[in-house]
Amino acid sequence: MRQTRSVPELVERARKGEARAVARLISLVEDASPLLREVMAGLAPYTGNAQIVGITGAPGVGKSTSTSALVSQLRATGKRVGVLAVDPSSPFSGGALLGDRVRMQEHATDPEVYIRSMASRGHLGGLAWSTPQALRVLDAAGCDVVLVETVGVGQSEVEIAGLADTTLVLLAPGMGDGIQAAKAGILEIGDIYVINKADRDGADQVRRELRNTLALARDAEDENSWHPPIVKTVAQTGQGVDEVVERLDKHRTWLESTGELARRRIGRARDEIESIAVTALRKRWGDVHARTELDVLAEQVAAGETDPYRAADSLLETYTD
């Protein structure tokens, strides 16, 4: 039987590094528990330490192998690590250990590593609304670095950058990645580029193309700008992964010294607050048992009696100052 614990107790245990308390808090987030507000309030004072690292790349570049290799390397430098794997295509959630991902299992028994997969229940194909809140749990639990990885493909590849302090973009030779990457817009979001499977033919060509594309995209910059480095790795053997970790550290230092870290985090907090407020308003507009103002207005618009703009005005007049 699952023990019931109070939220403050769970937060306290999570901060001490109890994996089960961390897992329980993430479950509360994921299930949109009525305790969610209390959880968030309890965590707030302990957040802000972790470096949130987004890992993106087309399927086949070796994202999950790279994530696992990064965990090993980060652990070797003594860091506490969280891994959040978001699967936008899966209707199933939970599962603390990503049992299907053999590579991750080597970390499963390490008490300084928290690994969690989440289904995305948010917008079609988008990252779960609950992702930023799960990140807060891992952050408050004392992780120094949290790796966020999307499983599968799609928009979330770009969205993930919006959640991260540092975004790693993975490429690999022989996949036509240059073009794919440009299409998906991921060439605008990388803080660090990793060419994985660098022992294969074509790695240098990918590097050349990438360098050219990045050079083209570069605006006139001041000397404080961050120049995204390109690192070659073979995640299977761990080759080059130490350099990725070094670059992560450098990027964090850069973020802090330039004030960019605060800017990014305030921007993210803005989005999060706004999205919670909008959700609350939508609920207020549409969630009453009787026919709502919105229902009536929608019928009028559908009948051509009014237009959506006037209807929106009415809605706002009813519910706001």
Residues that bind a copy of itself (CB under 8 A): 36-37, 40-41, 43-48, 89, 124-125, 132-133, 154-155, 158-159, 183, 262, 265-270, 272-274, 276-278, 280-282, 285-286, 294-295, 297-299, 301-312, 315-316, 319-321
Q: Which has the closest alpha carbon to 35: 58, 14, 11, 59?
A: 11
Contacts of 88 (CB under 8 A, 6+ apart): 119, 120, 125, 126, 127, 128, 150, 151, 152, 154, 156
Minimum separation from the CB atom of position 197 to a copy of itself (A): 26
By C-beta, is 97 or 301 nearer to a copy of itself? 301
Other CB atoms closer than 10 Å to residue 284's CB: what's the count? 12
By C-beta, is 97 or 129 nearer to a copy of itself? 129
Minimum separation from the CB atom of position 245 to a copy of itself (A): 25
Residues paired with residue 169 on neighbouring β-strands, in sequence order: 56, 193
Q: What is the largest CA-CA distance in the chain?
A: 67
Minimum separation from the CB atom of position 41 to a copy of itself (A): 5
By C-beta, is 200 or 263 nearer to a copy of itself? 263
By C-beta, is 37 or 218 nearer to a copy of itself? 37
By C-beta, is 19 or 298 nearer to a copy of itself? 298
By C-beta, is 257 or 279 nearer to a copy of itself? 279
Minimum separation from the CB atom of position 108 to a copy of itself (A): 29
Give yes or no for a contact between 55 and 67, defined as CB atoms under 8 angstroms apart.
yes
Minimum separation from the CB atom of position 275 to a copy of itself (A): 8
CA distance 215 to 217: 5
Other CB atoms closer than 10 Å to residue 182's CB: what's the count? 15
Minimum separation from the CB atom of position 48 to a copy of itself (A): 5
Give yes or no for a contact between 196 and 203, defined as CB atoms under 8 angstroms apart.
no
By C-beta, is 56 or 196 nearer to a copy of itself? 56
**Environment class of residue 278 by beta-carbon count within 10 Å: exposed (0-12), middle (13-18) or buried (19+)?**
exposed
Q: Which has the closest alpha carbon to 22: 86, 115, 98, 146?
A: 115
Minimum separation from the CB atom of position 125 to a copy of itself (A): 5
Q: In what order do the strands lie in the sheet with 81-87?
A: 113-119, 81-87, 145-150, 51-57, 166-171, 192-195, 230-232
CA distance 45 to 267: 18
Give yes or no for a contact between 120 and 86, defined as CB atoms under 8 angstroms apart.
yes
By C-beta, is 135 or 235 nearer to a copy of itself? 135
Minimum separation from the CB atom of position 36 to a copy of itself (A): 7
